[in-house]
Amino acid sequence: MAAGESGESAVIGLVYRADWTRLSLAAMTADGSRVLLAPGRRYRYESPDHVTAATGADRGRSPATTRTV
């Protein structure tokens, strides 16, 4: 197992066990895309040429909002 794998496993475990009714998460990927997760099953994914998002009202529909920039 590589050294980075144990750190990734720990982060994945924290994300899995987090109380998402109260927390949000924002991250930037290696290609410059952004991922935002928020309470209420809301999320937003932004890449240089594409945006996908969902609000809490979008439950049961997928994807909620998609547009090309």
The residue extents of the domains of the chain are 20-68
Question: What is the tens place of the pLDDT at every residue in 9-47?
Answer: 888 888 888 887 888 989 999 899 999 988 888 899 999
Alpha-carbon distance of 43 to 56, in angstroms, equals 9
The pLDDT value recorded for residue 14 is 83
State the first-to-last Cα distance of the chain, in angstroms, to the nearest integer: 40
> Is it the case that residue 1 has pLDDT exceeding 50?
no
CA 43, distance to chain mean position in Å, is 6
| 3 phi/psi in degrees, rounded to 5 | -60, -40
- List all residues 6 or more positions away from 55 whose beta carbon is below 8 Å from its beta carbon: 40, 42, 64, 65
